[in-house]
Amino acid sequence: MILRSALLAACLSLATQARADDQPNPDLMPRVSRYALTQAFAHGGTVERDGLEAEFAPIPGADDRAVEIGDALDADGDATEIHIRLEVDEIQEEVYPGKFVTFWVFAPLGQAMASAARLPSPTIRVQQGDHVKVTLYNTHYLPHTIHFHGLSQANDMDGDGMDHEVPPGQNFTYEFTARNPGTFFYHCHVQEDVHVPMGLAGMLIVEPRRPHNHFARLVPGAGRIASMGAGTREEYAAEYSLVYMDIDERLNHIASQAGDLREIEWRMHRDYDTTQRVPDIFLLNGRSFPFSVRDTPIMVKPDEVTKLRVLNVGPRAIYLHTHGHHPTETDADGIPLPPAARVTRDTFGIGPAQRLDLALRTGADGLFASGPGTWMMHDHSAMASTNAGINPGGSQTEIIYEGSEASHAAHAKYLDPAYYKGRVPVFDPGVFGTTAERYARGLPQPGAPAAYPTRRRDEPDPPRLDLIDAERHRTVAKSCAGRPRGFQHITLHAGHAYAREGEVFAFEPRQIHVERCQAVEITLENTDAIRHDPMIPGLDPMFVLNVMGPGAATASFVTPDADITLPFHCHVPAHDKAGMVGELIVGEGGAPASAPVVAAGVGRLLDGVGVVIVTVPRMGRLVVDHEAIEGFMGPMEMSYPVADAALLQGLSPGDKIRFKIDPGSSTIRGIEVTDHAK
């Protein structure tokens, strides 16, 4: 089940205390209302209601405390006090078909069994005049900061990374007043030549101040902005946040390759040389072609103006070219340009850290726009149109008019991972009088020297974190069904203070001895100023605790009636890697009796029943709260890849489903809705 915070419960009760004669129509209420200003909601228009709903909608996978909407100090009908809570997660993203890359991102504060982490780091949106607090919970194994780039702020809030590092396990709250509307960004300033390309950067938008101005304050990733601010809506029909970056995959690979944290630090900061970097992957909002078109298409209608907020996070300039259209530059680095300086052109050079706000006019006037269709929009530097040297790829997307056809991004050839491994001929082999099978006969010997820069040899793919995660959460033992024969209380200490050489976070004790069929009560004492989520993933029902520290919490479970050793770990991303693993030894201990289901069930699909938490089409994943899947996984909320993103179509949060899962790859291969949520 999704854990709901006490805060949410408290605010829900507050909402139900509204005066009877002032009750808003429940059909129009936000799905999760924790908003005290129900007057505004009841008497505002549709747009304001939509804004409110977006402002208070929970972020799937995030703790409710990720965004805290405070008081309206200026009494203008919307909140002035905004508190955002971020953590630092290590994640993997499939950036183009078959290519999984490890990143570090700022993410909305997570909850026990889920995560809202994705690339790029989330878009923060505040309003001019807002008093903003951003708490950085450093859940990662290296020090980090947040630097709010371009904002006017006090010197001790600058997060510059020289004197203000937030160590692992600690938190720090940055505070600023958003003085000027515009497009800004935030990023880590510790070892920034490495930490920014690893993904620790996101867009920060300061909306113009308007009364009754409601919109989503923290948006995972970037892309089309669904709930526009009132000031932007006055001038624009739609709005997009576009975050461009490039990476040198060899750097990102280090985080998933090395075993010891000291080795990761040394390889990233002492062995890898930023001055020798050669980027090979080019990202728009965390994706390369064809996924960039799928996830960030610029959808337009004729005779509209669309606002494009463009941020270049990467270390090289981009040259953004819009086919068929001439946008106008309206703001540079968060400052409005005087009318005489508002240049209209077809290619915009944008240096590292720079932001350009572009007004994209559509239609067929022959100057600003050339008419309906599907038009490319891409970084015109040659390398940026490739995925590691294979074209078409890179950060390109498309301006797509309503009713226009999908582009070549939908072509099966480009969705085949083999294409980007260089194993598919560029052109039809018939051009050369041959076939795909006979094509290789015309190639030089493997390893033959070449007098030009060649593609990097295929490195071994990094371990797939999602598959490992699913694998280690399989049920291997059930709690004793009968009445427990005994009771034991255990205090488990957690935090940086218990780490040994080479570790950052750890538990103490690391081995817990318990009896068979015994009730065990565990009190977790978390000495860090971040969350730790101890969990026994192989036990059914699953045991998990989510403790924001410093602080303690207690929960119980019953041990299996068998001699077995069950690993336990902290479920926060990468905490097991940082040292937070241990063993629960039941009775004499021992390996699980049942062989893993993979060996027995090759080719056999298992049946699952559950409730949809959220679909993530951009990642081809389904997060589902499911019942036990016999021999595979206990009842839990889990994120699984789906064999085809089309399986997710038509699914809504709350839908009850039946699904077929391949236990070997933990991939869902079929979904059937048994009961729609609405």
Query: Which residues sit at the interface with Cu ion, rule CB under 5 A?
Result: 532, 570, 572, 575, 580
Total Cβ atoms within 10 A of residue 485:
14
**Smallest gap from residue 500 Cβ to Cu ion (A):** 15
Q: How far is the CB of 530 from Cu ion (least distance, A)?
A: 7
Sheet holding 147-149, edge to edge: 147-149, 182-187, 201-207, 123-127, 218-219
Element (DSSP H or E) covering residue 40: helix 38-43
Interacting residues of 524 by C-beta distance below 8 A, sequence separation 6+: 492, 494, 532, 534, 545, 547, 552, 553, 554
Q: How far is the CB of 522 from Cu ion (least distance, A)?
A: 15
Min dist CB 493 to Cu ion, Å, is 12
Nearer to Cu ion, 401 or 507 (CB): 507
DSSP state of 65: G
For residue 184, give the amino acid letter. F
Contact in structure between 159 and 181 (CB atoms under 8 Å): no
**10 Å Cβ neighbour count for 618?**
19
Residue closer to Cu ion, measured from CB, 397 or 546 = 546
Shortest distance (Å) from residue 533 CB to Cu ion: 6
Q: How far is the C-alpha of 518 from the C-alpha of 213, rounded, in Å?
A: 55
Nearer residue to Cu ion within complex by CB, 112 or 318:
112
Q: Which is nearer to Cu ion, 224 or 575 (CB)?
A: 575
Query: What is the nearest approach in angstroms of Cu ion to the Cβ of residue 574?
Result: 9
State how far the Cα of 304 lies from the Cα of 288, in Å rounded to an integer.
27
- Phi, psi of 172, deg, nearest 5: -150, 140
What the block records as the tokens of 423 is 């194993």
Q: In the complex with Cu ion, which residue's Cβ is closer, 477 or 570?
A: 570
Residue 255 vs 671, nearer CB to Cu ion: 255
Question: Measured from the CB of residue 532, what is the shortest distance to Cu ion in angstroms?
Answer: 3
User: Based on the number of CB atoms within 10 Å of its own CB, is 193 exposed (0-12), middle (13-18) or buried (19 or more)?
Assistant: middle
Residue number, 85 or 210, with CB nearest to Cu ion: 85
Tell me the three-class secondary structure of 497-549, residue by residue.
HHCCCCCCCEEECCEEEECCCEEEEEEEEECCCCEECEEECCEECCEECCEEC
User: Torsion angle of alpha carbons 549, 550, 553, 559, nearest 10°?
Assistant: 70
Least CB distance to Cu ion at residue 141 (A): 10
Q: How far is the CB of 496 from Cu ion (least distance, A)?
A: 10
User: What minimum distance in Å lies between the beta carbon of 569 and Cu ion?
Assistant: 8
Ranked by CB distance to Cu ion, the top (closest) residue is: 570
Q: Smallest distance, Å, CB 572 to Cu ion?
A: 4
Judged by beta carbon, residue 3 or residue 299, the one nearer Cu ion is 3
Whose CA is closest to 505, among 575, 571, 582, 584? 575
In the complex, least distance from residue 342 CB atom to Cu ion, rounded to whole angstroms: 50
Query: Which amino acid is it at 667?
Result: T
Within 10 angstroms of residue 179's Cβ, the number of other Cβ atoms is: 13
In whole angstroms, the minimum distance from the beta carbon of 417 to Cu ion comes to 33
Residues 174, 158: Cα–Cα separation, whole Å: 8
Tokens of 359: 């007004």
Give the separation between CA 324 and CA 362, rounded to whole angstroms.
10
Residue 479 near residue 514, CB atoms below 8 Å: no
- Residue (198 or 499) nearer to Cu ion, CB: 499
In angstroms, the Cα distances linking 25 to 28, 42, 54, 409 are 5, 7, 17, 44
Residue 34 vs residues 10, 43, 220, 642: alpha-carbon distances, Å: 8, 17, 20, 34
DSSP-derived letter for residue 605 is: P
